[in-house]
Structure 1
Amino acid sequence: MSQLIYQFYIRLQEIEPPIWRRIQVPDTYTFWGLHVAIQDAMGWLDYHLHAFRFRPKHKRDVIEIGIPSEKWDDLETLPGWDIKLDSYLHQPGQWFEYEYDFGDGWMHDALFEGLLVKEKGSKYPKCLGGERACPPEDCGGVRGYYQLLDILNDPDHEDHQEMVAWLKGHLKKYYPYNPDMSFALRKCAFPVPQPDGKKPFWKNDVL
């Protein structure tokens, strides 16, 4: 049994102060497993498609790993459940990109920080830390996120009550939403990733 783990730093692009997480996953994981771990650590609900992207030096081609889909594929997308992490992650300090929800376009910077030895008695994957609350799912990307914050901070805004009702009625029940809420490690749970890529949103056709 392998005694090694990968450590990653994940942060959302274009949001300040940064929303970030640091996670560790077994070295036996595929990119599908890493996707599930990022979803759980960040606080996303895994409603939508995703993609990892690598931009090799001295090459024009972008390598995309995720869920192949004829609807969205401008690039050939390699199925993440077939590709082990060590296929593309070779050197600590390597940056790559993780996009979630091609409609809202949540772009994450991902840093491979190193290959470490498992701690005795620890369970993996696990989250080591992070800061700030994840944006509400389906809020409209970075622009919609900042608009939502402006509306919530202005009780007299014409859309204030509508946005409060939307947050209260959301599956995750985001209300009251506080973007600066301290990240709670104890609430970070990691289910076992499904190896074949068949996720619930496929059944509901929510892409």
Structure 2
Amino acid sequence: MSRQIFQLKVSLVGTRPSVWRRVLVPGGYTLDRVHRVVQHAMGWRDCHLHSFEIDGRQYGEPDPDGELAVRDELDVRLDAVVGKGDRFQYVYDFGDWWEHDLLVEDVCAADPDERYPVCPVGERACPPEGIGGPAGHAVLLAALADPEHPERRTMRDWAGPGFDPAAFDATRATTLLRRFC
């Protein structure tokens, strides 16, 4: 039997214009590997907590104190909890609350000549870590677009001189996915 590949569209909720990626991942990946795929495809640095919500259930790293009812993402395979047409959520950084909508666009047989995971396409740069969630991202974009914006210098310094909100490099994202996922 051939491996199943899940085509996921990962969209960052609350950003305008939209920040999104399309990734192809093996259905046998556990949710902790899907977490790493989202991190590297989007451009996050994986320095905050995260969780998945699928059909009303929370998945993530178990709480050592047992206070949060989170199922261990290491124990759950992607193909066991979602199928073609399903949507689920991934939240990264509970302070900034970066919510990602994941849509299973397709499920197909693996191409024997392809290495997975892969990110063939996406749009726009991932917001900088710690910018303040979607509202902070909107301020950043407004400040970068307006030379007279009162927060332009602060926002440029925060984002870094090389930050281009319109930029996305699918080849680089795929390289990172293959190296770290």
What TM-score comes out, normalization by structure 2 length?
Answer: 0.88
**Cα pair 1:2 1:28 within 8 Å, conserved:** no
SS of 2:48's equivalent in the other structure is: coil
> Do the aligned partners of residues 71 and 97 (structure 1) sit closer, same or farther apart at CA in structure 2, a change above 3 Å counting?
farther
Residue aligning to 1:42: 42
Q: Which runs of 4+ in 1 moved over 6 A?
A: none
> Do the aligned partners of residues 130 and 103 (structure 1) sit closer, same or farther apart at CA in structure 2, a change above 3 Å counting?
same
**Cα pair 1:2 1:27 within 8 Å, conserved:** no
Residue-by-residue CA offset, 1:84-116 (whole Å, 9 max, x unaligned)? 112211x31001111111000001111112221
Equivalents in 2 of 1:101, 1:36: separation in Å? 14
SS of 2:46's equivalent in the other structure is: coil
Q: Which runs of 5+ in 2 are unaligned?
A: none
SS of 1:107's equivalent in the other structure is: strand
Equivalents in 1 of 2:106, 2:147: separation in Å? 46
* Aligned-CA RMSD value: 2.1
Hey, which of these two has a bigger chunk of helix by percent? 2
List aligned pairs for 1:52-131, cutoff 5 A.
52-55=52-55, 62-69=56-63, 75-89=68-82, 91-131=83-123
Residue-by-residue CA offset, 1:43-90 (whole Å, 9 max, x unaligned)? 1111111111023xxxxxx200111236896x511111121112211x
SS of 2:157's equivalent in the other structure is: helix
Residue aligning to 2:163: 177
Equivalents in 1 of 2:122, 2:150: separation in Å? 34
One-letter amino acid matched to 1:4: Q
Say yes or no: does 1:150 pair with 2:136: no
Q: Percent identity?
A: 38
